């Protein structure tokens, strides 16, 4: 059975991995007959957000790996342990954690850098053209990982798209139910909650992305 690495960024849309997107990704992988292992970097979150009020929880700190373990029901590993040779593909769900904890795009925009463990693993996958899917805001880090000319989508947000293009990425407007596939790089992306107004809308694009990924692995 093909094995997929799923890289999470915490737990909760405002400071970690988007929970709906993460669960929909795992469900779609199972429905396509794909095995998976969840990973997250063993680092502190950029900050903690009270998801009831939307305010920063001053004085609180949380670990990305420990928080992501909530979504993975404890079956998760430190991303530092992940080896490209053990996996056939990877998927990165969104949520602000992707832009705050997996990289610092949320703070630095086009001047962002990517977490070293994320960079090492994804660049190793890219070097051998293994398919990787990025969801929601996670595609914002693609130009840093795949270089100039990489094609991707975060939906249709003009400011975010402009920052991505400033890094050398090629942003392509995309509806919530669709995906963008960069054939040259074997790279997939879908807007999910950058556009979705419901769980079912988020599911439409995520399901299509995972189905495409599954078809690439069978080719």
pLDDT at 3: 98
- Domain ranges for the chain, please list them: 3-218
By the 10 Å C-beta count (0-12 exposed, 13-18 middle, 19+ buried), 119 is classed as middle
> Rounded to two decimals, what is the model's pTM?
0.97
Considering the four listed CATH numbers 1.10.940.10, 3.40.50.880, 3.30.70.270, 3.40.50.2300, the one that applies to the domain covering 3-218 is 3.40.50.880
Cβ atoms of 137 and 154 within 8 Å: the answer is: yes
- Is 136 noted as a catalytic residue in this protein? yes
pLDDT at 164: 97
Catalytic residue among 11, 103, 112, 136: 136
pLDDT at 219: 73
Tokens 């094609």 locate to 151
10-residue averages of pLDDT along the chain (219 residues): 97 98 98 98 97 95 98 98 98 98 97 98 98 98 98 96 97 98 98 98 98 94
């Amino acid at each position: 059975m093909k094995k997929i690495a799923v890289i999470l960024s915490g737990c909760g849309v405002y400071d970690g991995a988007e929970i709906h997107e993460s669960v929909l990704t795992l469900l779609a992988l199972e429905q396509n007959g794909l095995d998976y292992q969840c990973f997250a970097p063993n680092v502190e979150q950029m900050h903690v957000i009270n998801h009831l009020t939307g305010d920063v929880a001053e004085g609180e700190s949380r670990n990305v790996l420990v928080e992501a373990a909530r979504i993975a029901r404890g079956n998760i590993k430190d991303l530092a342990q992940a080896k490209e040779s053990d996996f056939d593909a990877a998927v990165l769900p969104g949520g602000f954690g992707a832009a705050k904890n997996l990289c610092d795009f949320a703070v630095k925009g086009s001047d962002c850098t990517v977490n070293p463990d994320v960079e090492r693993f994804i660049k190793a996958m890219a070097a051998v053209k293994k398919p990787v899917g990025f969801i929601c805001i996670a595609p914002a880090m693609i130009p840093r990982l795949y270089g100039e000319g990489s094609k991707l989508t975060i939906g249709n947000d003009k400011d975010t798209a402009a920052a991505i293009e400033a890094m050398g990425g090629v942003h392509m407007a995309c509806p919530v139910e669709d995906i963008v596939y960069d054939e040259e790089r074997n790279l997939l992306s879908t807007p999910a909650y950058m556009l979705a107004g419901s769980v079912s809308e988020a599911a439409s694009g995520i399901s299509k992305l995972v189905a495409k990924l599954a078809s690439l692995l069978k080719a």
